[in-house]
């Protein structure tokens, strides 16, 4: 064996030597700088490697509880680690009267600091020392009539935070990587991540992240399946992330072959799912990857109408920072415009519908102004190729071929309808409902002329009597909702008023007027914060009167309010927030069928992945699960190798199983030292990757 050490420690690669000298090792140990394959190998002192890897090795084990040597040890010392449960555990037995659990002077009293140090060397005089375990005593038992034999099970230092639930809440587009999120989560449970580059590990997350109550390991494993991380715990009790992708490419840290293992056996196979249905919610790339600039995309859809004549629909969609702010749909048909004289039938504009959304914008952390959930205005306008109807007495009127009477001689594109919605938001404050909607005003306009009282008005060709001698774009309905937020007062309640102004025939004058009516006051009383909410409609009344335009004020006559009580969920004004981007998330379900690759009984498994950022990450998870399902699980018993940690890439050769230098992953390790001969060995479960 040859090795060299560097000042910063080193990474080791052990391979089978071509020709071992008689009496020397069959292994050769090539040592590289940490900058090489250091992802997988904890820095370890060279003399430790030399001590543990010999053909004849002198060994010693030291167990301490409460920083005091535990003697005499009997039976077997065992130290276990696994990818599935990376918290290190250890067990040992001691023959002593100091194992009682009710005596403060004994090792069995409460949970005490525990450590296991293994020594090894190629001669007793020179022993290398390796701290194999550090933690606390956990469960303990003892038996024996005359001499007590105490059995101790210990957990690693990570037990201090392993069961602690953490919490993290991060808004969208914060520009944080999964590594940074994991580091923040680690902070919330009171620990830290061992990787120096943790803040740069993993993809940048755009979706909002809110995790409560999970342990750090659970979060690391859930992130890890997407990022292909293996979370493991250092002896010092810190969480360490190993990236699995490098397992496929990095230099293996050890090569298992018959010259260095004692036994090898394939583990029982459980039928894996042959079909995986994975789903997730995603922010479309147009938003996720947006740069903030406005962009208009035009699509043209040609077609034919019922008569076989060509049509064309042109859609212009404008997005800003990925959010749709304007959609204009122009419909063209093949027809002849109406008018006083005939025109040829050609493909021309027939109608235009345009919608505009105006949002509150906010920078959510990545320097890009994105619309928030606060929608200030929404307008929808409709244009048609038509004319302005006029009364029979209007001197500017013309009779068109379609028998109508219109201003002008030819139909042209004009606005015939518009619906405008305006929102007024409460400013965010501690006392008032944060960013709650204070008022919603919906105004509907149309090309129209109000009907006149029977006693007057202008006569139209269709026989109707109207108040103006030509149609115009005018308001025909106003719907106003006002929320009164009393939550800054002693009585926690919200009231909603609804005022509907609509065109109605006035009972006194007979004409059509915009009147205030359908008065309604609703109160939400929160009887207990966050618990029961009572929705109480105080009154529903029709109040003719309050003529707003074109008439005198009539007397109001309200009908008595009608009580209506509805218990139900919290009602209140819609809430917007300048904190949250307007996230239009889509749900995608991907089905992965591996039946052809996996010769097992068909089995379908479904899961929604909470933290996948893109559909491509679903693919990544599926590929990874399939890879693991196809791995050959080999349990290899060999001499103890301190540097062989979980997540390390190795090579395996086992001729009876037709496995020759195949790449694998160390999935779990079980290190044992048998007393009193100090025979030390290790059982390593290796996931051998499929050949393809």
Min separation Cβ 20 and another protein, Å: 9
Min separation Cβ 58 and another protein, Å: 4
CA 381 – CA 69 distance, rounded (Å): 85
Min separation Cβ 182 and another protein, Å: 40
End-to-end CA distance of the chain: 33
Which CB sits closer to another protein, 257 or 506?
Answer: 257
Question: 629: which 2 tokens?
Answer: 């399902």
Question: 564: which 2 tokens?
Answer: 């209506």
* Residue 354: strand pairing partners: 328, 381
Min separation Cβ 257 and another protein, Å: 8
Which CB sits closer to another protein, 283 or 688?
Answer: 688
Min separation Cβ 21 and another protein, Å: 13
Handedness of CA 94, 97, 98, 102 (dihedral sign): positive
Which CB sits closer to another protein, 112 or 653?
Answer: 653
Closest by alpha carbon to 195, among 168, 222, 233, 224? 233
Which CB sits closer to another protein, 262 or 548?
Answer: 262
Helix (H, G, I), strand (E, B) or coil at 551: coil
Min separation Cβ 651 and another protein, Å: 15
Which CB sits closer to another protein, 57 or 321?
Answer: 57
105: CB partners within 8 A, 6+ apart: 98
Which CB sits closer to another protein, 258 or 302?
Answer: 258
Which CB sits closer to another protein, 27 or 162?
Answer: 27
Min separation Cβ 116 and another protein, Å: 16
**Can you spell out the DSSP letters for 573-633?**
--B--TTSB----EEEEEEEE-TTT--S---EEEEE-SS--SHHHHHHHHHHHHHHHT-EE
Phi, psi of 217 (to 5 degrees): -65, -40
CA 257 – CA 660 distance, rounded (Å): 9
CA 198 – CA 157 distance, rounded (Å): 21
Min separation Cβ 254 and another protein, Å: 14
CA 535 – CA 566 distance, rounded (Å): 5
Query: What's the Cα-to-Cα distance from 620 to each of 40, 250, 281, 371, 692, rounded to whole Å?
Result: 22, 20, 15, 31, 17
Which CB sits closer to another protein, 262 or 570?
Answer: 262
Q: List residues near another protein by CB under 8 A.
A: 26, 55-60, 119, 121, 123-127, 258-264, 639, 674, 676-681
Cα–chain center distance at 619: 15
Closest by alpha carbon to 664, among 673, 651, 653, 654? 651
CA 449 – CA 458 distance, rounded (Å): 10
Min separation Cβ 76 and another protein, Å: 12
Which CB sits closer to another protein, 459 or 679?
Answer: 679
- Residue count of the chain, please give it: 692
Backbone region of residue 184 per phi and psi (left: phi > 0; alpha: psi in -120 to 50; beta: other values): alpha
Which CB sits closer to another protein, 261 or 611?
Answer: 261
Which CB sits closer to another protein, 127 or 155?
Answer: 127
* Residue 183: strand pairing partners: none
Peptide bond into 630 cis (omega under 30): no
Which CB sits closer to another protein, 56 or 403?
Answer: 56
Min separation Cβ 137 and another protein, Å: 24
Do 570 and 526 form a contact (C-beta atoms < 8 A)? yes
Which CB sits closer to another protein, 127 or 182?
Answer: 127
CA 3 – CA 32 distance, rounded (Å): 9
Strand locations in 490-583, DSSP E? 493-505, 512-526, 533-541, 564-568
Min separation Cβ 588 and another protein, Å: 49
Min separation Cβ 123 and another protein, Å: 4
Min separation Cβ 365 and another protein, Å: 57
């Amino acid at each position: 064996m040859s090795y060299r050490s560097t000042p910063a420690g080193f990474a080791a690669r052990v391979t089978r030597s071509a020709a071992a000298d008689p009496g020397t090792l069959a292994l050769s140990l090539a040592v590289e700088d940490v900058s090489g394959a250091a992802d997988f190998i904890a820095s370890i002192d060279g003399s430790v490697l030399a001590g543990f890897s010999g053909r004849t090795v002198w060994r010693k084990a030291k167990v301490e509880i409460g920083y005091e040597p535990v003697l005499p040890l009997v039976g077997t010392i065992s130290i276990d680690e696994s990818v599935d449960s990376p918290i290190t555990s250890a067990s040992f037995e001691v023959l002593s009267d100091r194992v009682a659990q009710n005596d403060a002077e004994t090792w069995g009293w409460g949970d005490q600091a525990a450590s296991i140090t293994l020594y090894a060397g190629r001669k007793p005089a020179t022993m290398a020392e390796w701290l194999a375990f550090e933690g606390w005593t956990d469960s303990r038992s003892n038996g024996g009539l005359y001499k007590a034999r105490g059995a101790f099970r210990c957990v690693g230092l990570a037990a201090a935070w392993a069961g602690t639930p953490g919490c993290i809440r991060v808004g969208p587009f914060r520009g944080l990587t999964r590594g940074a999120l994991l580091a923040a989560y680690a902070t919330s449970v009171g620990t830290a991540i061992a990787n120096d580059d943790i803040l740069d590990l993993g993809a940048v997350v755009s979706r909002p992240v809110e995790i409560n109550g999970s342990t750090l390991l659970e979060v690391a494993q859930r992130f890890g399946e997407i990022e292909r991380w293996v979370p493991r715990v250092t002896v010092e009790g810190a969480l360490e992330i190993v990236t699995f992708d490098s397992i496929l490419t990095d230099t293996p840290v050890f090569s298992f072959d018959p010259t260095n293992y004692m036994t090898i056996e394939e583990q029982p196979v459980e039928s894996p799912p042959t079909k995986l249905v994975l789903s997730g919610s995603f922010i479309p790339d147009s938003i996720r990857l947006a740069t903030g600039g406005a962009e208009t995309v035009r699509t043209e859809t040609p077609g034919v109408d019922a008569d076989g004549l060509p049509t064309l629909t042109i859609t212009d969609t404008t997005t800003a920072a990925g959010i749709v702010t304007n959609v204009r749909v122009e419909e063209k048909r093949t027809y002849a415009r109406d008018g006083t004289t005939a025109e040829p039938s050609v493909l021309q504009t027939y109608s235009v519908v345009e919608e505009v959304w105006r949002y509150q914008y906010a920078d959510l952390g990545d320097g890009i102004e994105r619309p928030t959930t606060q929608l200030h205005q929404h307008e929808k306008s409709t244009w048609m190729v038509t004319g302005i109807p006029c009364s029979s007495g209007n001197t500017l009127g013309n009779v068109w071929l379609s028998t109508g009477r219109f201003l002008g001689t030819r139909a042209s594109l004009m606005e015939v309808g518009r619906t405008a919605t305006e929102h007024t938001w409460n400013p965010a404050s501690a006392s008032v409902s944060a960013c709650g909607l204070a008022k919603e005003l919906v105004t509907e306009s149309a090309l129209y002329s109000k009907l006149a009282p029977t006693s007057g008005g202008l006569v139209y060709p269709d026989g109707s009597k109207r108040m103006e001698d030509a149609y115009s774009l005018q308001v025909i309905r106003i719907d106003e909702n006002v929320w009164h937020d009393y939550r800054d007062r002693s009585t926690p309640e919200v009231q909603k008023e609804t005022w509907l102004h609509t065109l109605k025939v006035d009972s006194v004058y007979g004409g059509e007027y915009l009147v205030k009516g359908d008065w309604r006051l609703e109160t939400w009383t929160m009887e207990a914060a966050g618990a029961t909410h009572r929705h109480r409609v105080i009154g529903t009344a029709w109040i003719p009167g309050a003529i707003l335009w074109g008439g005198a004020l009539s007397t109001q006559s309200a009908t008595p309010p009608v009580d209506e009580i509805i218990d139900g969920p919290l009602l209140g004004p819609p809430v917007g927030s300048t904190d949250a981007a307007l996230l239009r998330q889509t749900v995608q379900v991907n089905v992965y069928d591996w039946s052809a690759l996996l010769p097992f009984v068909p089995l379908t498994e479904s899961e929604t992945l909470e933290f996948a950022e893109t559909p491509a990450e679903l693919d990544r998870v599926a590929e990874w699960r399939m890879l693991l399902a196809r791995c050959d699980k080999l349990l290899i018993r060999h001499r103890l190798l301190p540097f062989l940690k979980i997540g390390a890439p190795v090579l395996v050769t086992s001729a009876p199983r037709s496995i020759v230098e195949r790449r694998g992953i160390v999935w779990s390790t079980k290190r044992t030292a048998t007393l009193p001969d100090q025979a030390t060995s290790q059982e390593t479960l290796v996931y051998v990757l499929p050949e393809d």
